[in-house]
Amino acid sequence: MLRRLLVVMYATLREGLQQPICMLLTLTMLVLTLLQPLVQLHTFGEPGRLVRDGGFGFQLIFGLLIVVFTAGFTLSNELRSGTASATLVKPISRAEFFIGKLFGVLGVLVIYWICSTFAILIAERAAERFIENSRIIGYIRDNQAAFLGMGVPLLSLLIAAILNYFKHMRIGLVFFFTTILLYSALFIYLGFYSYDHFWLGFTSDFATYFDFRILGVAFLLLLLLSCFTTMAVALTTRLKTGGALAICFALFSLGFFIDLILEAGICGRVIGNVLSLITPNVQSFWLPDALGNGGAISLRYCASATINAILYIILYCVIGTSLLRSKDM
């Protein structure tokens, strides 16, 4: 069983990363995130806040688009083209097929999340801030970090195109893994330099020049996107990509107001409880404001949010496998 799951997951992961829309959405998200510190003119009392909040917004919206399109391309299209029927003729159950597809799409999400989180960390470092030391007194913006950060996905795309032309390597796979490697190298490189590009040596404290509190909020967004990934995969067992996208965004929007709806009793108690059961409370996962004034996301909160997300994922898995089992192919 494990081997069959891994085969389906790996095939889905490769196919998802190879989709041009997935690569282009990721490229757009990275460039927009790194462009922010170069165009924003205000800090509103806290350096980097607007940049990281904007980065989280891009990470969430583009991530939702990527997982829905990936689910549509790798599951909905296969069910309608008959490819899935050929796979299910082999000794693999529909539940195993669904779970394998889900894990593959989640793999695409994790790779996207790593790239986007690197971009937010570097963009926040590049934001304008007031510096006072023996070398400089005044406001400074790390333009080098921003330009290098924007250059990473563009360079990855160029490398992927060259390797595809000469070595016939898959352009999407090369793009994503090259982006992760280049961002890792850039992250290490910037950690050895101060905001004003002064060499700090190998004893540099990376925590001084990168806001690692970002990881807590980014982790919560990964949990939220994982819930909607499972929802999207479940929906694409019956719907085309456009229909699944519309429902996911509708429930995503509803999730922002679910607390208000329940408190106001707009839909009645029974309907409200059903909505809260099938719709994740987006506000409990969207917490960029928690980083304001030196705040941070606690490990205890991350643990409780993880349990909440796992329960939603299990619910959508049950719905998805049930829909797939009853589908005629």
List of residues 6+ apart from 238 with CB closer than 8 A: 323, 327
Side chain identity at 37, as an amino acid letter? P
Q: Is residue 137 part of a domain?
A: no
Distance CA 131, CA 78 (A): 55
Condensed to tens digits (0 to 9), the pLDDT of residues 168-188 reads 888 999 999 999 999 999 999
Per-residue pLDDT, 97: 86
Q: How confident is the model at residue 122 (pLDDT cuts 50, 70, 90)?
A: very high
Q: What is the pLDDT of residues 69-99, one digit of tens each?
A: 998 888 776 666 666 555 655 677 888 888 9
Domain span at 174 = 2-131+142-325
Q: What is the distance of C-alpha 75 from the center of its chain?
A: 20
- Direct distance between the N- and C-terminal alpha carbons of the chain, in angstroms, rounded to an integer: 22
- Could you report the per-residue pLDDT of 216-264, keeping only the tens digit for each? 999 999 999 999 999 999 999 888 888 888 999 988 988 888 777 776 6
| Mean pLDDT score, 264-282 | 73
Q: Is 101 within the bounds of a domain?
A: yes
- The beta strand positions in 109-222, using DSSP E, are 129-132, 137-140
Q: How much is the average pLDDT of 279-300?
A: 90
Residue 152 lies in a domain: yes
- Asked if residue 296 belongs to a domain, the reply is yes
290 within some domain: yes
pTM of the model: 0.92
Whether the CB-CB separation of 35 and 150 falls below 8 Å is answered with: yes
* Alpha carbons 159 and 172: distance in angstroms, whole number: 11
Query: In terms of Cα–Cα distance, which of 215, 214, 237, 247 is closest to 64?
Result: 247
What is the total count of domains within the chain? 1
Q: b/e per residue, 267-298, with b = 16+ CB within 10 A? A: eeeeebeebbeebbbbebbbbbebbeeeeebe
- Domain contains 136: no
Which residues pair with residue 139 across a beta bridge? 130
Residue 37 lies in a domain: yes
User: Average pLDDT for residues 321-325, to the nearest whole number?
Assistant: 86
Q: Which amino acid appears at position 265 of this protein?
A: G
Token pair 């007194």 in the structure block, residue: 137
Per-residue confidence band for 267, with pLDDT thresholds at 50, 70 and 90:
low
Residue 214 counted as domain residue: yes
> Is the pLDDT assigned to residue 207 strictly greater than 80?
no
The burial class, CB within 10 Å (0-12 / 13-18 / 19+), for 95 is: middle
**129 phi, psi to nearest 5 deg:** -155, 160
CB 113 within 8 Å of CB 202: no
For residue 123, the SS3 value is helix
Condensed to tens digits (0 to 9), the pLDDT of residues 14-54 reads: 989 999 999 999 999 999 999 999 887 676 667 888 899 99
Distance between CA atoms of 237 and 233, rounded to whole angstroms? 7
Share of the chain above pLDDT 70, in %: 88
Q: State the Cα–Cα distance between residues 305 and 277, nearest whole angstrom.
A: 15
Res 266 pLDDT > 80: no
Contact assessment for residue 290 and residue 212, using Cβ atoms and an 8 Å cutoff: no
For residue 197, name the pLDDT band (cuts at 50, 70, 90). confident
Count of other CB atoms within 10 angstroms of residue 49? 20
Q: At what angle do helices 2-18 and 94-126 cross, to 10 degrees?
A: 50
How many Cβ atoms from other residues are within 10 Å of residue 123's Cβ? 29
User: For position 96, what pLDDT does the model report?
Assistant: 86
pLDDT of the residue at 75? 78
- How many residues does the structure list for the chain? 329
